[in-house]
Amino acid sequence: MSTSAAEALSASLSSALRDLRSFSFNLNSPVAFVVPIVVILLRVAYVQAKHIHETRSAKKRNMSYTVKWGRERLHFPLPAPDAKLAEIRHEIATYTQLDPQSFKLVHAGAVMKDDNAPISAYGIKPNSSIAVVGGGDVPAAHKRHKPKEKPAERTEASTVAQIRGELDVVRRTLKPDVESFLTTLDPSSVPSSTASAPAPQPASAPVTDSNAAQLGGRNTDIELEHRRLGELLLQSLLRLDAITAEGEWEEARKERKGAVKEVQTLLDRLDGGFRARPRTAAR
């Protein structure tokens, strides 16, 4: 009988006893001699069910092991003796939200190194204690109770600064890469005054192994670079779109509109140059 079944039986028997106590009958009726026997049998069954439930609960409490994690004391059900140590590691990692490989497990003063070994090989049994070493000194429970810092109040000036900061990152990191990429595809697509390495080639020069080598040595690298730049520009557009400007913040709305237009233009140039690139059969 499972614990839940014992609990259900106990509840049913208790209810039956209450009903019988409240039952009134005629002493001259034959039922008057049967009911006391039924009551006695029900009492015996109730006591037995309660005993089974308490025995199973005590056994379950004893079939566990303790994990010492900082100041925390955690209790987990003990797996079968032939269960691998990896099972315990996974259970601890799931509860603590630690990387499974970021901490060590210590039992009886020794580090348990082989996750594929059964727990019986390490002498882990009911009421054993396992210490978690590494992976972070502060338990997640303490972190959850850490007071959250109050976010800084948003103003139009701070919003404008955020927009300009995002655009500045695009200009410093992505725009030079896009210009260089377009120059590699077709040197005539970018003015020589703004083009960076590699050195310009004749406008009719196709994308071959020689100039594709400057992006990694294969034409497939050109496709990867186009995808990389395109994704970064799209992410920048999404971040700009997420910046909200309050109703009266005209300057912030103007800044965001101009930044979105500049990044979108750069993305359009990237895609247009990639689609219009000269193509030859790869060697």
Reply yes or no on whether the pLDDT at 26 is more than 70: no
Reply yes or no on whether the pLDDT at 267 is more than 60: yes
Distant-in-sequence, close-in-space partners of 35: CB < 8 Å, separation ≥ 6? 20, 23, 25
pLDDT at 198: 42
On whether the CB atoms of residues 42 and 88 are closer than 8 A, the answer is: no
On whether the CB atoms of residues 215 and 222 are closer than 8 A, the answer is: yes
Work out the end-to-end distance of the chain between its first and last CA atoms, rounded to an integer number of angstroms.
74
pLDDT in tens, 100-148: 888 999 988 888 989 999 999 999 989 899 999 887 655 544 455 555 6
Q: Which fold has domain 156-275?
A: Methane Monooxygenase Hydroxylase; Chain G, domain 1 (1.20.58)
pLDDT in tens, 44-72: 677 677 656 665 654 554 578 999 998 88
Q: What is the pTM of this model?
A: 0.40
pLDDT at 153: 79
Distant-in-sequence, close-in-space partners of 232: CB < 8 Å, separation ≥ 6? 174
On whether the CB atoms of residues 69 and 105 are closer than 8 A, the answer is: no
On whether the CB atoms of residues 219 and 184 are closer than 8 A, the answer is: no
Task: Enumerate the H helices of 138-278 as residue ranges.
Answer: 140-144, 156-169, 175-185, 209-212, 219-242, 250-275
Whether the bond into 147 is cis, omega within 30 of 0? no
pLDDT band at 212 (very low <50, low <70, confident <90, very high): very low
Nearest to 221 by CA among 185, 270, 256: 185
pLDDT at 189: 54
Q: Which fold has domain 64-144?
A: Ubiquitin-like (UB roll) (3.10.20)
pLDDT in tens, 227-259: 999 999 999 999 998 888 777 889 999 999 999
pLDDT at 70: 84
Q: Which of 32-46, 146-160, 165-179, 184-198 has the highest mean pLDDT?
A: 165-179
Which is higher by pLDDT, 10 or 213?
A: 10
